[in-house]
Structure 1
Amino acid sequence: MTKATSKHHWIGLKQLLVATFSVIISLLMFASFPVSAKKLPAFQAKEAYVMDAKTGQVLYQKNANAKRPIASLSKLMTLYLTKQAIDHHQIKWNQKVPVDHELIKMSKDGTLGGFKITRSREFTVRQLYQAALIASSNSAAIALGKLVGGGNNTEFIYKMNQQAQKWGIKATFVSSSGLDNTDLAKYHYQVPHTTAKAQNMVSASAISTVAAHLLAIFPTITQWSSQSAMKVGKQWLANSNSLLKNKVYYRKSNHVDGLKTGYTINAGLCLTTTFWHNGRHLIATIIDSNSVFTSMDRLIQQIDQKNQLTTVKIPTHQFSIGGQTVVAKPESQQTAIWREHSNQHPKIISYSSNQQKLPVKKGNSVGYAKVALSHRNRVIKVPLLATKTIQPTKAKSSSAKAHHQSLLRTIGNVLLGVFEGFYKLMAKFAHFMAR
């Protein structure tokens, strides 16, 4: 074996060892082994949040509105905006994605990779979407964001923050992947005018809301997120969510079907989970937990045990919009609401309009009914939809009004002329008779 060949083999072996140890370290961080978990409280997390995916009702929260690092949970916003771009026919599932040299290099970094990309346009939008979701590929997420941003990473980050503002959630993004600038700068993906250590700062309630919007526009995403492994091309994507079937912390009764894990040194272990309870899709987020899967398991069981589902009927309501009466009906005739005690009774406490001017389009939301339990400790908003399209009353144009006034003046002048002529004629007749 030549010296060059020996060196080549050594470099290859070194890269393999680095990648292998990185995977092992990653698995150890997410394993939350039962032995060490026994030394921790049954539920341990710095921030936590549980909500109903459809109504947004909050079932549990702990420091849920504090903005903090969330690592790869950030990818949920990237996945939302990518799906939105697909729905708006801006990109397609089957189109090949351009990937620059820096992202290809990032994908081969064992500490940041998980899904290797060897050349540009090697994978489709669908394949990179799966890689970002399941294997938490940073290079895949950044490549998707760049595509949605028209080839501009900074433009995509702007879209992320703009969407957060539109939803009114507490979130500041500098990265489409969840990596902070200490890693992004190495690959020239630091957003201009951000600090050297800048990172995404998002609250548990905010990222749960992002997950709810993602489920709303892409409900079948759980067909991918529920898989413990998936093959893309010649690579296997390993899902680090240990609550899934065939994983260490799987529990059939929890009915977990996703959604995203995350970890950085600053963020700690993070997890946003989707699960079913009483036929409802719920979302739970835990941020910075040393026993993230044990704690999530306990949290799901607590939610299942302490919450009962009840329904309340929502009647149609009339709003006054633009001086006209608009009849609005609820999305569904009755809505679900969770309660902790059977003596808590839901009722409509108010109606609010979110539209002040006409036109109103049939089927569009024009307001909502606010439903609460006794003591108003749990509140949901039910959208109310217009039952028909109503256009504003057309005001007469100034030219038409002027024409109308001119016509009236003309008629008036004619009548006045006739009256004056008749008056003169009668005067002459009276003068003639007096002779």
Structure 2
Amino acid sequence: MYGTITKVWHKKWRVLRVRKRTGYRIGTVLLSVLLFIGLWTPGQIKVDAAFDVNAAAAILIDAETGQVLYEKNSDQQLGVASMSKMMTEYLLLEAVKEGKVKLDDTYQVSDYVYAISQDRSLSNVPVRAGETYTIQELFEAMTIYSANAATIAIAEKISGSEAEFVKLMNEKAKELGLEKVKFVNSTGLNNRDLKGNHSTGEVTDENMMSGRDVATLAYRLVNDYPEVLETAGIPKKKFREGTDDEISMENWNWMLPSLVFGYEGMTGLKTGTTDFAGYCFTGTAERNGQKLIAVVMDATNDKGEGTYDARFTEMKKLMDYGFTQFEHKEIAAAESAVKGSETIPVQKGKEKEVQLQTASALSILAPKASNTNYKASIEFNSSDLGESGELTAPVKKGKVVGYVTVKDEKDQPVPFLKTVPPTNVQTADSVEKANWFVLSMRAVGGGISNGWDWVVNKVTGWF
């Protein structure tokens, strides 16, 4: 009896084992198929799945639209060191544009600027006490060589003192929509390096920003004042050439094509290094009509060590990723309608609605070999619309009513910098306000037969 039971049990066990092994095999095959589909089906490719950057924070954006292609810890406020000088550059070029300062204006060296310039442990060009220098000379020293004393000199020229200039920096940050920013000086140095001249913050404070804010500042700088790249892209230049004060300036951006880490298409923009901030870099590059901005903050090598080389290695990684993995894909042509929102109602107008169109063409950078169908829609400016989402006449042609947003086929938004809408949507025509008779007839005739509408339209022509 016992033997019979044992034989039956062994037989069942063998069947179970066969089924179990078969199940494993089927499961393995199914898993492989699913993985294959997940990795290779067009439109589902996740190009950033295994991509990472050795830095405390990093971000990569399209320099033309502000589209975010990659980000890592980009909302944490960190030290930015001399990348702060992008704000000083912005404010100087703005002052030049507004006619408040000219590049051929002169500046007489203050005791503060002289003291900082003599500290060769800092990035500097030495200047003479009481000597005059042109703003152009100081701008080049700041932008090419990250000269700290030259930066303070520019701050004093614009605002009278660095303390007042720092107030201007923080005000401009708010105006540009930067959210996690703290400027305590014009240079990005630690306050303890300012020889007791710091006037904002504590003695060991430094400027701080998030990676997203750094990218936004860089975006605004190169788009509002593209001429900055003419100077930021100079690999080498002599300060005060032909004088006793001549000094060779080699750009700290060693990725400019002719320098040691030369990278094809590199055009700018600003490096930064302090013990607190680590090795930082905001880079701009262009290849085949595609422009990118990338930021690395506190970059390290594979051993976790911060080095000059690390920030350029990680920057190359980001730029290569952008240039090799993405391509332009047009979403909307200039002056075209957005499907589903071709018109908008107009109250009290001669016409009851007005056509809408894009202010400019919109392209995004989409993963290569992806067949994803992107959908455009409009995010309306609620402050310009009535409760029912309508405009009120009179309406001028070209009135901006919102901007285009883009989503993929899974209804996931394509990310852009918060302060940089992809392209505006505006009215294609003007709509004049209707006269009192038309408005009265509409009020009386609402919901009445087409015959009455015909009478109203006929009488309207008399007025």
Give the TM-score of the pair, scaled to structure 1.
Answer: 0.72
Match of 2:218 among 187, 206, 211: 211
- Specify the alignment match of 2:168 in structure 1: 159
The structure whose Rg is larger is 1
CA distance in 2, matches of 1:323, 1:75: 51
In the other structure, the counterpart of 1:368 is 403
Evaluate the alpha carbon distance shift between residue 120 and residue 54 of structure 1 in structure 2; reply closer, same or farther with a 3 A threshold.
Answer: farther
State how far apart, in whole Å, the 1-side matches of 2:399 and 2:171 are: 23
SS in 2 for 1:49: strand
Of residues 134-143 and 322-331 in structure 1, the stretch that sits farther from structure 2 once superposed is 322-331
**Aligned partners of 1:91, 1:272: CA distance in 2, in Å?**
26
Rate the CA distance shift 1:180–1:344 in 2: closer, same or farther, 3 A.
Answer: same
- Cα deviation, residue 245, structure 1: 1.9
Residues of 1 paired with 2:163 and 2:347: CA distance?
41
* 1:346 aligns to 2:367 (yes or no): no
Q: What letter is aligned with 1:159?
A: L
The answer (yes or no) to whether the contact 1:103–1:187 under 8 Å persists in 2 is: no
Q: 1:164 & 1:319 partners in 2: Cα distance?
A: 35
Q: Which of 249, 255, 261 does residue 261 from structure 2 map onto?
A: 249
Structure 2 counterpart of 1:158, which letter? K
User: Matches of residues 281-430 of structure 1 in structure 2 within 5 Å?
Assistant: 281-289=291-299, 290=306, 291-314=310-333, 315-316=336-337, 329-339=357-367, 342-353=370-381, 356=384, 365-375=400-410, 376-380=412-416, 381-385=422-426
Structure 1, 272-281 or 328-337: larger mean CA deviation: 328-337
Of residues 81-90 and 108-117 in structure 1, the stretch that sits farther from structure 2 once superposed is 108-117
CA contact (8 A) 1:172 1:202 kept: yes
CA separation in 1, counterparts of 2:127 and 2:345?
57
- The answer to whether the Cα contact below 8 Å between 1:366 and 1:385 also exists between their aligned partners in 2 is yes
C-alpha contact 1:96 1:121 (8 A) present in aligned 2: no
1:142-153 aligned at under 5 Å gives the runs 142-149=152-159, 151-153=160-162
Amino acid at match of 2:317: R
Q: 2:21 maps to what in 1?
A: none
Partner of 1:124: 134
Residue by residue, what CA displacement relative to the aligned partner does 1:19-77 show, whole Å, maximum 9, x if unpaired? Answer: xxxxxxxxxxxxxxxxxxxxxx9942111000111211001111111101010000001
Matched position secondary structure for 1:123: strand
Deviation at 1:387, TM superposition (A): 5.6
Shift of 1:293: 0.9
Is the 8 Å Cα contact of residues 380 and 403 (structure 2) preserved in structure 1?
A: yes
% identical aligned pairs: 29
State the match for 1:265 in structure 2. Answer: 275
Which residue number corresponds to residue 431 of structure 1? none
Checking the alignment, whether the CA contact within 8 Å between 1:106 and 1:113 is kept in structure 2 is no
Taking the aligned partners of 1:83 and 1:242, their CA distance within structure 2 comes to 24
Distance in structure 1 (CA, Å) of the matches to 2:203 and 2:345 = 52
Structure 2 equivalent of residue 228 of structure 1? 235
Kindly provide the amino acid, as one letter, of the partner of residue 308 in structure 1: E
Residues matched between the structures, number = 349
Are the aligned partners of 1:125 and 1:144 in contact in 2 as well (CA < 8 Å)? Answer: yes
